[in-house]
Homo-oligomer: A and B are copies of this chain.
Amino acid sequence: MEMTLQSNVVQPLLTDRYQISMAYAYWKNGKHEQESTFDLFFRKNPFGGEYTLFAGLEECLKFVQNYKFQKPDIDYLHKILPNYTEEEFYDYLSTIDMTDIKIYAVPEGSVVFPQIPLLRVEGSILKAQLLETTLLTLINYASLVATNAARLREVAGPNTRLYEFGLRRAQGPDGGLSASKYCYLGGFHGTSNVLAGKLYGIPIEGNHIHSYVSAFQNLDELKIRVLPDRITGASCPFVESCEKYLDELGPILKISPNQTNKGELAAFISYAISFPSNFSALVDTYNVIQSGVPNFLAVALSLHECNYKAVGIRLDSGDLAYLSMKVRANLTEIARKFNIPYIEHMTIVANNNINEDTLISLEKQGHSINAFGIGRHLVTCEKQPALGCVYKLVELNGIPRIKVSHDIEKITIPGRKSLYRLYDSGGEAICDLMTRFDEPAPTANSRLLCQHPFSETKRAYVTPSSVKCMHRLYWANGNIQHPLQTWDEVRLYAEQQIKMLRKDHRRNLNPTPYKVSVSNSLYLFLHELWLSSVPISEFA
C-alpha cells in the first residue's frame, strides 16, 4: 500500500470529548503510563451474512504515524476543559506521539468474523485510549462498504462488471472517496469518482448523462459535421451518414425514423465526434426503443464506416430485464443485417436502484446486462448502514480486564490473545481459534479442542491441515513494520481470502455460520473472570 492523500480532518482532535476527559483523569491520577492492551472487534457480521472484509488499516497506520497535537489544538482544549485543569497536562499532551505504541492487526483485505481482534493495540493507557474513536471511524465504514461490495460481487457472478457510482449519495466528500476505494477492494471494477481514480489508481468510468442529451435540440446546431476516418484520415460526412443509417434502420427496427428525438441524435453525434473510439450512449432520455437505440445504432453504424467501433449503451431507468433483452435483440438483428458481428456483443450498462435483491431478481428473470453501476444502496449500505466495531480494554498492567454485560454477546474476551485460522486439506478455512497469548501456537495435523466462547456445550475437535497466525505487528518503534502493499495487491488478497471461505458461508440467504472458537485454556480463564466480576444479586 502506498501512503496516499488522507483527508486533513484526520487528526488527534477528530475524537470524542470523553477521550480528552479520560486522558486528563488518567494523567491527574498518575495512571497514564500503565501498560494496556485494547482489542478492536465487532460482534455481528453485517447484512445478515457470515463474513466481513477487514479494511481501513492503511489509514489507521497513517493516522498513528502523524499523531501530534498542534498548538491550535492545545489552545482549543484550554477553552473546553475546566479552568482548574493543570497546565502541565497540556504540556504533556503537546509532547506525545505514538512511537511507543504497538499495533498488531490482521492484514487489510482479510476475511474476518465476530469477536476476533482485528487490531490489538498495546501501550500506555492514555495513548492507546486516545486512539479509539479515530481508529473506529477509519475501520467501521471501510469494512462495511468493502463487505457490501464483496457481497454484490458474489451475487453478480464472475462475468458481470460492477462500478461504484455513489459519490453524490455518500456522507460527504470523503465518505464518497472511502466508498470508491473500499468497493474496489471488495471486488468492484471501478468507480465514477475521478479523485478516487487519481488518489488510489482505481479505474474510472462514465460518459454522459441526461443533461447532455437534453442540451441538444436538433441536428442544425452541430458545428462539426464530419469525422476523419480512423485509418485513412479522410473526412467522412458524419451527420449525413447518421441520417442515412437512421432511415435504413426504420423498417428493420419497426420504428419511424422521423419520430426519434433529433436533439438526442445530435447529442449522440457530437459525443461520437468527441470520443470516436470510446462511444457509449445513454439511451433512455426520451424512449429507449423508439428513440434511444435507433439513434445510437445510426451513430454506431456511421462510426463503423469510419473504422471506429462503438462501445455500447447505458440504461438508467425502466425495467432493466425487459429493456436489456429487447436492446440485445435489436443489436443482434442489426449485427446480422449489416454483417458486423461485434455489434451483437456491445456492452449494456445498467444502473437504476440496484442492490443485492434486484441483482438476484434480474438473474432469475434473465437479462442481457454486462455491467452494473451501483450508487445509493452500495455507498449508504442501506441494508445495514453501520458496522458495530468496538474498542475494549482487555488487559492492564498485565492483569486481564473484562467488561461484563447482561447481554452475553456484549461480554469482552479478556487478556492478550493470539488469533489463528485453521484450514482443511483443500485450503478452505475450518474455523478461527483464539488462544491466550502465552499458550503454545496450535500446529498443523494435531487435534485441537475448539470451544464456543460463551456456550459450554458447543465445542469440537479440529485437526487442521494448516494453521495460520492472523496477527502481524504493523506498528512499533514509531515505524510501520511491514512494507505496505499496493492497492491492487490488497484487492487481490481480498479476493483470495473470500475464495478460502466455503461457499455455504458466503451465500446470500441463510449462510452457514462460520465458527470462531477459543482454546480450552482461554475458555476456562474467561469464565472464571466473568463469574468473579458479577456480584450475586440479593432479593430482599
In Å, the complex CA distance between A84 and B276 comes to: 9
Query: How many residues belonging to A are interface residues under a CB distance threshold of 8 Å?
Result: 130
- Tell me if A16 and B167 are in contact (CB < 8 A): yes
Task: Determine which residue in A73, A198, A399 has the highest number of CB atoms from chain B within 10 A of its CB, and name it.
Answer: A198
- Tell me if B173 and A137 are in contact (CB < 8 A): yes
Shortest distance between the CB of A348 and any CB in chain B (Å): 17
In the complex with contacts A194-B17, A215-B396, A540-B254, A29-B224 CB distance below 8 A: yes
B-contact bits for A26-62, CB 8 A (1 contact / 0 none): 1011110010101000000000000000000000000
Interface set, chain A 188-236, CB cutoff 8 A to B = 192-195, 197-198, 204-212, 214-215, 217, 221-224
B-contact bits for A161-179, CB 8 A (1 contact / 0 none): 0000101111111111111
- Tell me if A261 and B535 are in contact (CB < 8 A): yes
Q: A76 near B: Cβ within 8 Å?
A: yes
- Tell me if B18 and A286 are in contact (CB < 8 A): no
In the complex with contacts A13-B198, A25-B275, A193-B16, A393-B171 CB distance below 8 A: no
- Tell me if B217 and A399 are in contact (CB < 8 A): yes
In Å, the complex CA distance between A145 and B82 comes to: 31
Q: Which of A100-108, A266-274, A337-345, A441-449 contacts B (4 or more CB under 8 A)?
A: A266-274
* B contact residues around A306 at 8 Å (CB): none
Residue of B nearest to A16 (CB): B192
* B contact residues around A193 at 8 Å (CB): 14-17
Q: A533 near B: Cβ within 8 Å?
A: yes
- Tell me if A538 and B256 are in contact (CB < 8 A): yes
Shortest distance between the CB of A187 and any CB in chain B (Å): 20
In the complex with contacts A18-B192, A38-B211, A209-B18, A168-B256 CB distance below 8 A: no
- Tell me if B403 and A285 are in contact (CB < 8 A): yes
In the complex with contacts A141-B175, A142-B172, A215-B274 CB distance below 8 A: no
- Tell me if A168 and B137 are in contact (CB < 8 A): yes
Q: A358 near B: Cβ within 8 Å?
A: no
Q: A20 near B: Cβ within 8 Å?
A: yes
* B contact residues around A36 at 8 Å (CB): 215
* B contact residues around A536 at 8 Å (CB): 259
* B contact residues around A386 at 8 Å (CB): 169, 376, 380, 382
Interface set, chain A 499-514, CB cutoff 8 A to B = none
Residue of B nearest to A9 (CB): B173
Q: A277 near B: Cβ within 8 Å?
A: yes
In Å, the complex CA distance between A339 and B172 comes to: 52
* B contact residues around A396 at 8 Å (CB): 215
3 tightest Cβ-Cβ pairs between the two chains A and B: A171-B175, A17-B206, A18-B206
